[in-house]
Amino acid sequence: MSPIDPGLESIPHYWGDVARQLSVGGAALMLVGAPWYANELLTQFPLIIIAAILSVGLAALVNPLMRWVSVFDAMMSCIIAIVYAPWAFYAYQDGEYLMFVLRMAVAIIFLFAFYFNTKTVRAMVLHQFNSRDIEVSEAEKRMVTDAEIMPGSDDLSTDNGNSSSLS
């Protein structure tokens, strides 16, 4: 059972909850650790805040109905991992081991978030799950427009068996 959304544990190949938890945890570590590893706090801290807010915002939007959110969340996770890994090694080179550990932890967390986001996007692209696999409330159905539903997936309403798409 998913601690984030109990209705999503039955969707095979959906890893959005894991990616969400990693993104939120990584963003929290970015903010908590910033005073120890932001060499130039006035210039680096605003960028860290912006990256953390974007990461958490995308993580909050991740759901199995909208592929674009998972794609952007994967890209954000990848960018943060790419920025933090070399930044960690610069700290190591300078003998700042606490900064190295904190920055590398952020890079590794976002590397795993990237992995799980990419697994979810792959499943969406390969149609390993679609909207028929997901129980959605009426309010959520109204929030998701036809343009946001994955291409090739059925409408969220029941089709009484008249669907010609493959499962």
Looking at residue 163, its pLDDT comes to 45
Where residue 158 falls (left for φ over 0; alpha for ψ -120 to 50; beta otherwise) is beta
Q: Which residue has the tokens 């149609």?
A: 127
Residue 91 lies in a domain: yes
Looking at residue 164, its pLDDT comes to 44
Residue 165 lies in a domain: no
Looking at residue 2, its pLDDT comes to 47
Residue 164 lies in a domain: no
Would you say 123 and 129 are in contact if contact means Cβ atoms under 8 Å apart?
Answer: yes
Residue 5 lies in a domain: no
Looking at residue 45, its pLDDT comes to 87
Residue 51 lies in a domain: yes
Question: 2 to each of 11, 17, 27, 111, how far by Cα in Å?
Answer: 11, 7, 21, 21
Residue 42 lies in a domain: yes
Which percentage of the chain shows pLDDT scores above 70?
69
Residue-wise pLDDT tens digits, 151-166: 554 444 444 444 444 4
Nearest alpha-carbon partner for 105 in 53, 162, 29: 29
Would you say 34 and 48 are in contact if contact means Cβ atoms under 8 Å apart?
Answer: yes
Residue 26 lies in a domain: yes
Looking at residue 1, its pLDDT comes to 41
Mean pLDDT in the chain? 79
Q: In the chain, count of helices (H) and strands (E)? A: 5, 0
Per the document, the length of the chain is 167
Q: What is the DSSP letter of 152?
A: T
Residue 149 lies in a domain: no
Looking at residue 136, its pLDDT comes to 54
Looking at residue 23, its pLDDT comes to 95
Looking at residue 128, its pLDDT comes to 77
Cβ neighbours of 4 (radius 10 Å): 14
Q: Which domain, by its residues, includes 116?
A: 14-143
Q: Which residue has the tokens 């039955």?
A: 10
Count: domains in the chain: 1
Q: What is the pLDDT along the chain (167 residues), one digit of tens a residue?
A: 444 455 545 677 788 899 999 999 999 999 998 888 766 778 888 899 999 999 999 999 988 888 889 999 999 999 999 999 999 999 899 888 998 999 999 999 999 999 999 999 998 888 877 655 565 555 455 555 544 555 554 444 444 444 444 44
